[in-house]
Amino acid sequence: MDLLRFITAGSVDDGKSTLIGRLLYDSKSILIDQLEAIEKQSKNREEGEIDLALLTDGLRAEREQGITIDVAYKYFSTPKRKFIIADAPGHIQYTRNMVTGASNSDLAIILIDARNGVVEQTRRHSIIASLLSIPHVVIAVNKMDLVDYSQDVYNNIVIDYAKVARATGLKDVKYIPISALQGDNIVERSTNISWYEGGSLLDILENTEVQKDLNYKDARFPVQYVIRPQTDDLHDYRGYAGKIISGVYRVGDPVVALPSGLKTRISGIEINGKRVEEAHVPQSVTLLLEDDIDISRGDIIVKDEALPKTEQELEALVCWMDAKPLVPGNKYLLQLNSRVVRAVVKNIEYKLNVNTLEKDYSPGRAELNDVFRAVIKTASPISFDRYDELRENGGAILIDETSNVTVGACMIQ
Amino acid sequence: MKQYRSDYLDHLESEAIHIFREVAGQFEKPALLFSGGKDSITLVHLALKAFRPGKFPFPLVHIDTGHNFPEALAFRDNLANSIGEKLIVRKVEDTIREKRLTEPVGKFASRNALQTYTLLDTIEEFGFDACIGGARRDEEKARAKERIFSVRDEFGQWNPKLQRPELWNTYNGRIHKGENVRVFPISNWTELDIWNYIRRENIQLPSIYFSHEREVLEHEGQLVAYSSFIRLDPGDKIVTRTVRYRTVGDMTCTAAVESKADSVEDIISEIIATKTSERGETRIDDKVSEAAMEDRKKNGYF
């Protein structure tokens, strides 16, 4: 049994919450007391049937306003897989939430209302999915019941969307006609849509291969913490604790610590205090090195076959997440895995319209939910990869040092 | 090329260890809030994996309401002893006395809400800047929206509308003086994941998680342990039932379930077959209001 993280994206009334409610309900992940609670609420709001969308509305503040204000995480599993759903709201002002939810998703379900077809928000969600390099995308054409399960309507949307997929560079795109409300093609294949030959949405979610999305080639190990017991019997023990974010490490491998460039070999690998010969992504391990070189939190231990770039200047696509605008010249902290360095956003090259992909080359400053390309200079060197090549070592955050808030998400180019 | 595979529990375990080490790397004075329940016992197990052969870079802290199950307290002391880590216990009773707090009254008078006072005092006493807890997002709707690193102000309050975006596996734990961060390494685990992990890792638990005979009061469909902490009314009948606990909190606000399951294996089969959620079945305190947890969290509760 493995794990799939996915995000659902859709416009306000595309039925996203209903879809998640349906997945949870039909996969029997909803239990009686939770159903009773939503039955009670459905009655409170004077609606006839159980409103499955209520299963995903978290906070009372949201229920009162009938909106979703933040990313919520939901869980269900089948005998094949455990699923983690990041439920991000679809309103325009919440681009930052979708970026957050998308950042560690393996797959995105983008909902399209069959009656409306591809709309501005569909493009935006697709562009964000592409910016965040989500490996797999499922286009779920929802509310098929409201267009009489028409194959023509569906086919036209598929043709329309294929243009979006091409423009945004999405690679693995699958299409499926559904009705979340009626349960068509969600868990079981629907007899109402007999012309559709693919599997149900759950089939797609269960069978999308994600193991090979992991990178076993480029070894990256950001050091989080140094374990030094300093007891009599472990006097010289120095263990570098961290998580292998990509690649494979073996005892005896020559390694380089960056940004210093100091070289040594792996003398031991420990998992749970036990010695192992090799370890791989995504394991959390402790590395022991042959030489006592100066390594601390924030350094990254790599193998010297495919080195990341180590520089003091980088270019990134940045999603701005703070109400305070970004003005070029502003200083921030940049955090990439365990490394934190001072940084200045030198200039904004262009702002990207996330609805049309148009570039605005005279943007001035960047506001909340803007996506822009910028040159960032750092006070000390940082070792990074291109985000679209190695997501795990190419995504960084910007932190406002005065408020301590995370204000930007950087996809390093 | 060689094929590597990782089970879903491997992913969850590695993520949790990573979070533990981020706490160690980012904070000066963290603490692990330990309740004696299965989730916090799992946290201790994960912390051992994260930091051995070194010591934990934090003490275990237990906020003792005085209404705990004796079995859970004994287990707590044994565990802290056997792993040789520091255990700090602070009692709600002392806070009630020193601060002249009003004890709740009623049939199942619960000190659950008063815990928050003792917790905040303890955070202040030791200057803890990060408190690690075993909350899971599947437990409850308000939890589903909380970050793994959840910043609280100096009153311990959670502001759901002002949460930091949490991207990739990057955790921003920077805070101002007086603030603290609540950290939830097993956010992404479900009840069933915990039990599957307990089985895989052969983690020992307090005996009350397994089937045993107990004197209980049957009240509105829930079985509440008979103890001196609950008020008996005329007509109340104490009966002996074969029960186990799905969650272990206070004796006054945790209900037992009838069960003959006396092994982890049997418990897992029961959970898979069950029709009621963990909180719904066993937490007396959540039934009060739809938004009970949301309100308590805003006030500094875990």
Q: How confident is the prediction for chain A on average, in pLDDT?
A: 88
pLDDT average, residue stretch A335-359: 93
pLDDT at A90: 62
Helix (H, G, I), strand (E, B) or coil at B253: coil
| Alpha-carbon span A2 to B9, nearest angstrom | 8
Evaluate if residue B288 carries a pLDDT over 50.
no
Per-residue model confidence as pLDDT tens digits over B204-221: 999 989 998 888 878 777
Q: Phi first, then psi: what are they for A75, rounded to 5°?
A: -135, 140
The verdict on A43 touching B (C-beta cutoff 8 Å) is no
Average pLDDT, chain B: 85
For range A76-102, the mean pLDDT:
82
> For the purposes of burial, counting CB atoms within 10 Å of the CB of B28, is it exposed (0-12), middle (13-18) or buried (19 or more)?
exposed
Set out the domains of chain A in order of their start, with CATH numbers. 2-212 (3.40.50.300), 220-303 (2.40.30.10), 309-412 (2.40.30.10)
Contacts of A133 (CB under 8 A, 6+ apart): A387, A388, A391, A411
Q: Which of left, alpha, beta for A220 (phi over 0: left; psi -120 to 50: alpha)? A: beta
**Taking residues B264-275, what's their average pLDDT?**
83
Alpha-carbon distance B212 to A149, whole Å?
Answer: 55
- CB contact residues (below 8 A), chain B span 148-167, against chain A: 151, 160-161, 163-167
Per residue in B111-157, pLDDT (tens digit) is 777 788 888 889 999 999 999 999 998 887 778 888 999 998 877 77
d(CA A246, CA A174): 27
* pLDDT given at position B214: 85
Interface of B with A in 208-267 (CB under 8 A): none
Contacts of A320 in chain B (CB under 8 A): none
The ipTM, to two decimals, is 0.92
Position A48 pLDDT exceeds 70: no
* Minimum-distance CB partner of B144 among A73, A229, A241: A73
Share of chain A above pLDDT 70, in %: 88
Tell me how far apart the alpha carbons of residues A266 and A301 are, in angstroms, rounded to a whole number: 10
**Whole-angstrom Cα distance, residue A140 to residue A18?**
13
Best CA proximity match to A395, nearest among A2, A131, A28, A26: A131
Which of B5, B10, B21 to substitute to test the interface with A, most A CBs within 10 Å? B21
Which of B58, B141, B294 to mutate against chain A (most A CBs within 10 Å)? Answer: B141
- Asked whether the beta carbons of residue A406 and residue B175 sit closer than 8 angstroms, the reply is no
Q: Closest partner residue to B276 among A32, A97, A397, by Cβ?
A: A32
Q: What is the mean pLDDT of residues A232-240?
A: 90
Which among A70, A237, A284 has the least Cβ separation from residue B17? A284
Instruction: Tell whether B51 is within 8 A of chain A (Cβ).
Output: yes
CA-to-CA distance for A359 and A367, rounded, in angstroms? 15
pLDDT at A188 over 60: yes
Confidence of residue A265 (pLDDT cuts 50, 70, 90): very high
Q: What is the mean pLDDT of residues A103-113?
A: 94
How confident is the model over B272-301, as a mean pLDDT? 59
Interface of B with A in 74-133 (CB under 8 A): none
Q: Does B207 touch chain A (CB under 8 A)?
A: no
Domain boundaries, chain B: 8-192+291-298, 206-287
> Is domain B8-192+291-298 given the CATH code 3.40.50.620 in the classification?
yes
* pLDDT value of position A46: 47
Binned at pLDDT 50, 70 and 90, residue A34 comes out as low
Task: Count Cβ atoms within 10 A of the Cβ of residue A281 and give its class: 0-12 exposed, 13-18 middle, 19 or more buried.
Answer: buried
Q: Please tell me the predicted confidence (pLDDT) of residue B296.
A: 58
Cβ–Cβ below 8 Å for B192 and A77 = yes
Order of strands, edge to edge, in the sheet holding A72-77? A72-77, A81-87, A2-9, A107-113, A136-142, A172-177
Identify all chain A residues contacting B165, using CB atoms and an 8 Å cutoff: 96-97, 99-100, 321, 397, 406, 409
**Mean of pLDDT values over A192-202:** 93
Is residue B294 within 8 angstroms of chain A, CB to CB? yes
* pLDDT at res. A120: 86
State residue B41's pLDDT score.
Answer: 96
What value does the mean pLDDT take over residues B159-180? Answer: 89
Test B8 with A81 for CB contact under 8 angstroms. yes
Checking if the pLDDT of A42 tops 60, the result is no
Place of tokens 């076993």: A216
Using pLDDT thresholds of 50, 70 and 90, give the confidence band for residue A5: very high
Residues of B in contact with A297 (CB under 8 A): 25
Give the per-residue pLDDT at B101: 77
CA distances from A296 to A240, A339, B148, B170, B235 (A): 8, 10, 24, 18, 66
Say if A65 is an interface residue toward chain B (CB within 8 Å): no
List of chain B residues whose C-beta atoms are within 8 Å of the C-beta of residue A334: none
pLDDT of residue B152: 86
Residues of chain A with C-beta less than 8 angstroms from the C-beta of B21: 224-225, 241-243, 284
Size of interface A-B (CB pairs under 8 A): 184
Q: Does B299 touch chain A (CB under 8 A)?
A: no
Span A387-402, pLDDT tens digits: 999 999 999 999 999 9
Report the range of poorest mean pLDDT among A57-66, A143-152, A325-334, B255-264: A57-66
Burial group, residue B202, by CB count within 10 angstroms (0-12, 13-18, 19+): exposed
By Cβ distance, the residue of A84, A273, A392 closest to B52 is A273
pLDDT band at A152 (very low <50, low <70, confident <90, very high): very high
Mean pLDDT over B243-258 rounds to 80
* Higher pLDDT among residues B191 and A152, named by residue: A152
The pLDDT of residue B292 is above 60 = no
Q: Which residue of A has its CA nearest to B187?
A: A73
Residue A68 has pLDDT above 90, yes or no: no
Q: Do A41 and B138 touch (CB under 8 A)?
A: no
Contacts of A239 in chain B (CB under 8 A): 53-54
User: CB–CB of A81 and B167 under 8 A?
Assistant: no
Chain B positions in Cβ-Cβ contact with residue A404 (cut-off 8 Å)? 151, 172, 174-176
Band the pLDDT of A47: cuts 50, 70, 90: very low
pLDDT tier, B55 (very low <50, low <70, confident <90, very high otherwise):
very high
- Does the beta-carbon distance from B25 to A33 stay under 8 Å? no
Mean pLDDT, residues A50-61 taken together = 59
Q: Is the pLDDT of residue A27 over 50?
A: yes
A33 interaction partners in chain B (CB closer than 8 Å): 276-277, 279-281
- The bridge status of strand B60-64 relative to strand B30-33 is parallel
